[in-house]
Structure 1
Amino acid sequence: MTAYNTAYNDEKAARALLVRTARSLFTRGLTHGSTGNLSVRLADGSLLLTPTGSSLGTVEEADLSRTDLTGRHLDGPRPTKEAFLHAAFYRSRPSVHAVVHLHSTHATAVSCLDGVDSADALPPLTAYYAMRVGTLPLLPYHAPGDSSLEPLAERTARTHHAILLANHGPVVAGATLEKASDAIEELEETAKLHLLLRGHATRPLTPEQAAALATGPS
């Protein structure tokens, strides 16, 4: 199997990092109940993911699942039913080594609004949003775990490292788990600002200002 240039050469350390990150996201209210899932790509190309039905607040290192890039279960408990979304991002973006999917409140609220621009669901209200997220396509509604979303997600991931699933929540890929987590948190805060400012005249960054700041997932 092809080796990847990644920080996640040590599976034990990667498991510890996934659990620490999951706890942090949960305790800070960025996800709830048994929603949300995280993954990293290991040096051998396999994926380490949170399992189906688990809470990011209580998941343990021994609970994590491992799949290949097609989503085939290799070992551990059964992976999240949205493992195909993670695999789609990794296949499309060889430079990323982590994916975070949350049902964070404000981003999910934006995904439920009528009239959202499907090409870019949030305006670039802040410089950090432009740097860490960029444009945010809104993908049409599919039931959680509906693998018919996979081809569309894979195509979209070729040009965007962040997407918003209609009536569902955001998915963000990054070069590291820290970067993916920072980006999805920035997305959530921008969604909150967007909702707070509804009905007010806003002054987003210009396309030129946003383009000058865009850096992608690395």
Structure 2
Amino acid sequence: MRTYAPRCSHAVTLSRPPPLTLDAPDPVEPRLVCPACAHAVPIGADARCEACGASLAEALEASRGPRPPLPPRRLTRAQRRAVLRPKLRAHHDLGTLFLALGALMLPVALGFLRPLLLMTAIFLGVGFLLRRSGWPAALRREQKRRLQALRWGLPAPAVLTSVERHAVPSLQAGRVVQLGYVFTVHGETIQGSVPSPHVTDAQRRPGERVWAVYLAEDPSVSALWPPEP
């Protein structure tokens, strides 16, 4: 006689864990410790403490960080690579691969297999177009000018005016935010904007005091100091 074990009435369901997201954290309201009353207060337009009414001008100036050193400034390799970045990394890398394959096929096609010349030309042409679209010449010139400002630029106090997040950083070579800022040169207000690949910059808020460096011969060419990383 066969006996059957009773079935378990409690079914076990396995649920998938939620997918990991790389969203930047929400920015927090900037606060400053008042040197008079030691309270952390928000930074207002009048630069005065909401608790005791003391002036926050000196504390705001100190919050900019150390003044940029005199030019010429030495930049690390990582800092230079953070500025010189292609617009579309995938296109640029794929174009480099096509160019390398075309360069390897060219001696073989010229010396032994002439029918490969057409395929070699296609590889070289596609590689050139992909690299050019992934890193346009105008963007490369702009980045080189910004790098020149970091090395030879004059320092100026600046204020952040906008923090624009990128929805898909992977499509912009890892750029997470676009930082806008303004500074004054000989009484004239100059606007600047630089991309940043750092998630921590997404926590910044407009109104934050920073340092900018600009070229004396062309103040429209500027960058934020210190460079990252």
TM above 0.5, yes or no, is no
**Structure label with greater radius of gyration:** 2
Normalising by structure 1, what TM-score? 0.21
Normalising by structure 2, what TM-score? 0.20
Structure with greater strand share of residues: 2
